[in-house]
Chain A
Amino acid sequence: MSASFRRSAVAIGFAALLLALVPLFTGSFVLHVLTIALYYVILAASWNLLAGYTGQFSLAHHAFAAIGAYTSGLMGYHLKISPWIGIPCGVMLAGVCGLILGRLVLKMRAIYLAIATWAFAETFHIYLTADYKFTRGELGLSVKSLYGTTDPMPYYFTFLALTVLVLLGLRLLIDSPLGFFMRAIKDDELRAKSLGIDTTKVKIAVFAISSAIAGLAGGFFGHYIALLTPQMIDFSEMAKIVVMVVIGGFGTFLGPIVGAAPVQVVMTYLQSYGEWNLAVFALIVIVLMRFSMEGVASLFTPLWRRVWNWK
């Protein structure tokens, strides 16, 4: 285990411990908000792997979460299959779709890749709405809740555990040779090839991995909120993920963690302003970007260094 993994593991473990104590002090609404926030931490962290580390600015990440959610939801709805089988199926299908999409957009760069992946997401969005006999469309697909209760407590701990596992997995991945290759591709793909890196394979692998993680988060999310609608693939969902990562720190490990949770919490409380909440939110983004282009995570860097130099 590398030093970087050990440090991250200690920090994540410590944060998880604090979060595990939260239910002692708060009610179920706060737990609900935090559960959803953890869902976005997983989405933001896995999208960051693809966009922040590898430079593949995909706008289809929310669609992979929906693939995970709808796969398990539809299997349960039509075939009465247990979520514990449905969710792994959703993860696999999201991974395979990610692999295929990754293959399709391989030669595309920057804005072209963004548009192509966005078109993929929209196609899926339209399908979910149009094939309403199968997917229940805008009426919403009712999904069995995972623990047969609407009390957020067990879901909160489920998402906390998932988040810890995903983050530790991502840390291992980023420190592995594949992680070096990902960052190499983002900086200079031709150079990466000239060194002997099979950039095609790396890009497709990262697409598949990050999509599978989104599918995992989506699957559990579906069995928590219990009603799926095509709203899950609304572009505002994707925009939210992008904003979370950019505010937190694009291409940094800490970024999506410190970006996603606060953004989701703030957005929830801004909802009382109705349509204005996006405007207020945009203002916050502008102010934050003005002070720190590298995101909130960079503000923590000096502290992080100091903590580990104590030893």
Chain B
Amino acid sequence: MAALEAIGLRKRFGTLQAANDVTLSVEPGEIRGLIGPNGAGKTTLVNLVTGVYAPDSGEVKLAGQSITGLAMHEIARRGLVRSFQVTRLFGNQTVRENLLTAFHARRPANVDGEAAAERMIRLTTLGPLADTPAKKLSGGQRALLQMGCGFMVPGSCYVLDEPFAGINPVIKETILEMIVEVNRAQGAAFLVVSHEMAIIRQLCPQVTVMMEGKVAAQGTLDEVARLPAVVAGYLGKALE
């Protein structure tokens, strides 16, 4: 059974068909890459599976159970956790409070929140900033914290919308390690939207290419990168 399944999702905004019959499935323990040009519908897909929008038609399943049309918080509580492309945090809360809010939101039984937050502060290397309001963090630190919040309570599937965009190489590496670690330790599935081909190659055995609201190709990065349509519509030239 797939960890996350999108079946024939459609979504129209005015005259724009942002998602046009998108079918995609991520297996348990898999880290799947989702690539494609800007405006291809990647973020729309993320918003459809996480409940920001309800699809016009089609179905979303989490571990075999339909979550189509459920409220966002219901979907999150069932273990589908997301990050946002433009980092979203609670600006007036400190780093520690952000982590605790994420913890309380899906509070697992018999786990000490304070201790879990302390561990995550170490893991995200944000120790010296633990009591700083999130609005004072740099872009990279914000990205780290957002990722940390997502990992506070184990989920079954993580959907990360451009977690590496505009972030310095050191923090990029830390985020990469966090993803690998959570994937290894919890067996969680990931769907990672990114334009960073080097990271995608390292992280994702399989990638899905979206173009113009549709799934254009699927396979290993090197396989899809050879397809003429993908080269023409997205990469511009073959990957070196």
Report A's interface with B, CB cutoff 8 A.
177, 180-181, 183-184, 186-188, 190-199, 251
Whether A194 touches B50, Cβ cut-off 8 Å, given contacts A177-B107, A183-B92, is yes
28 sampled A-B residue pairs with Cβ under 8 A: A180-B93, A180-B100, A181-B104, A181-B105, A183-B90, A183-B101, A184-B101, A186-B92, A187-B91, A188-B89, A188-B90, A190-B72, A191-B89, A193-B71, A193-B72, A193-B76, A194-B76, A194-B82, A195-B76, A195-B101, A195-B102, A195-B105, A195-B149, A196-B73, A196-B76, A196-B77, A198-B71, A251-B92
In whole Å, how far is A1's beta carbon from the nearest beta carbon of chain B?
Answer: 14
In whole Å, how far is A193's beta carbon from the nearest beta carbon of chain B?
Answer: 4
Q: Is B234 in the interface zone, CB < 8 Å from A?
A: no
Q: Chain A contacts of B217 at CB under 8 A?
A: none
Closest to B101 in A: A180
A275 vs B88: C-alpha distance when bound (angstroms): 48
Contact A193 B73 (CB under 8 A): yes
Q: Chain A contacts of B76 at CB under 8 A?
A: 193-196
Q: Is B167 in the interface zone, CB < 8 Å from A?
A: no
- Enumerate B72-122 residues with CB–CB distance to A below 8 Å: 72-73, 76-77, 82, 84, 88-93, 97, 100-102, 104-107
A116 vs B91: C-alpha distance when bound (angstroms): 28
For A184, A190, A198, which residue has the most chain B Cβ atoms within 10 angstroms? A184
- Enumerate B33-72 residues with CB–CB distance to A below 8 Å: 50, 52, 71-72
Closest to B88 in A: A191
In whole Å, how far is A252's beta carbon from the nearest beta carbon of chain B?
Answer: 11
Whether A190 touches B104, Cβ cut-off 8 Å, given contacts A195-B149, A196-B76, A197-B73, is no
Closest to B83 in A: A194
Contact A181 B73 (CB under 8 A): no
Closest to A199 in B: B73
Given A194-B88, A196-B105, 17 further pairs, Cβ under 8 A: A177-B104, A180-B93, A180-B100, A180-B101, A184-B90, A187-B91, A188-B89, A188-B90, A191-B84, A193-B76, A194-B82, A194-B84, A195-B105, A196-B106, A197-B73, A197-B105, A198-B71
Q: Chain A contacts of B102 at CB under 8 A?
A: 195
A180 vs B90: C-alpha distance when bound (angstroms): 10
Contact with A198, one of B50, B73, B100 (Cβ below 8 angstroms)? B73
In whole Å, how far is A67's beta carbon from the nearest beta carbon of chain B?
Answer: 31
